[in-house]
Structure 1
């Protein structure tokens, strides 16, 4: 009986031996789960939102007609909306209305300029370097008014999330202006301040 029990125990131990010895195959490695990649952080401040403010500067008007040109102070109100794409690009639409009293010799005086503008900007730190263009309307005291176009460039710097300061240079073109029938070129250089909300 003792021999039978010993033989059974030996046989059981031998059959179980490979299980204790372990598997000869390498264990399958656990899959590596990659950490999610964070989206790139926005460059500079967020420019999305409405703004309103004012501008003041210098205007130079040339008609090509002898003695009908002049320069002087120009300034007014600005308003618009910018959209920040979250990378380096900003697009916007705006309105400008400038008051002026630029004497064009004995013929007339430039009194008002209105613009509907679009702009495309590239962020540089806390600033925005941009190109702009659009529709322009100008009015004089004696030669009537006319429609034209403008284009230019500017730079705006975010002082805080609600205040920006900048400067802009615009070239305007009006063909066959009002009752004068002459082409008018005008260049403005203005400093701008905007409250952003």
Structure 2
């Protein structure tokens, strides 16, 4: 038995090099290049944030055309569907600093002024997203505080009447939002507010019948914190 085992071992040792020589050479393939994962940005979820910017009254306005500083807060909900489309709703409230001008002076010396201190809106949003960017349009209901219309002559306030307070109106706008980190996005936005017009129905004779537009053009930059109801920013391999 011992001799048989030794003989077998010797035979294997002798035949192995010849057998190995008959085998084909082993081929090597280059490892595939590393591909970084593709980020997937999910806009679905609730968000809150703040904004700052400027407001500019339209032509033929009691507030003149000078700009005013504004700042405020916003909050809303977005839902992403069909891969690249986003629909949502947003509520926004802003404060406006100071009066935009000295008012309008009529030929006989009567001065009329107007000032809006606060603006609010509840709007729908609809947009298209690619990568971390979202381009959107918005529109809906707008509200403002008492427009603070005043009439004076020679520096003394005088009585007057108008056709209403014009506190309710509509708003439309558009913007670009960018998700720069998980749960955080920044935006720039233009928003137009229209509250109709104010007509003087009583007061000094030279102002009766005068009609002025009640609108605002605003440009804002904002920052939002997103709660990620639909999941955080992920990676696609």
TM-score, normalised relative to structure 1: 0.71
Higher-Rg member (1/2): 1
1:98 corresponds, among 94, 99, 105, to: 94
Q: CA deviation at 1:69?
A: 4.2
Residues 1:45 and 2:41 are matched in the alignment:
yes
**Conserved? CA contact 2:146–2:167, under 8 Å:** no
TM-score, normalised relative to structure 2: 0.60
Q: Counterpart in 2 of 1:82?
A: 78
Q: CA deviation at 1:140?
A: 4.1
Residues 1:130 and 2:143 are matched in the alignment:
no
Q: CA deviation at 1:188?
A: 0.4
Aligned length: 156
Distance 2:218 2:61 in 1: 20
Q: CA deviation at 1:178?
A: 8.7
**Conserved? CA contact 1:101–1:110, under 8 Å:** no
Shift of the 126–67 alpha-carbon distance from structure 1 to 2, 3 Å rule, reads closer
Q: Deviations over 1:125-157 (max 9, x none)?
A: 111000111111112452355111111110000
Shift of the 79–162 alpha-carbon distance from structure 1 to 2, 3 Å rule, reads same
Gaps (5+ residues) in structure 2? 1-37, 104-112, 150-164, 201-209, 228-237
2:189 corresponds, among 168, 178, 183, to: 168
Residues 1:57 and 2:53 are matched in the alignment:
yes
Shift of the 177–113 alpha-carbon distance from structure 1 to 2, 3 Å rule, reads farther
Distance 2:190 2:218 in 1: 6
Determine which structure has greater relative contact order: mean sequence separation of CA pairs < 8 Å that are 6+ residues apart, divided by chain length: 2
2:52 counterpart SS class: strand
Q: CA deviation at 1:97?
A: 0.2
2:148 counterpart SS class: coil
Q: Counterpart in 1 of 2:221?
A: 191
**Conserved? CA contact 1:70–1:102, under 8 Å:** no
Distance 1:100 1:133 in 2: 20
Q: Deviations over 1:22-80 (max 9, x none)?
A: xxxxxxxxxxxxxxxxxxxx984001110001000011012515774432101100000
2:197 counterpart SS class: strand
Distance 1:66 1:178 in 2: 11
Give the strand-richer structure, 1 or 2. Answer: 1
Q: Counterpart in 2 of 1:73?
A: 69
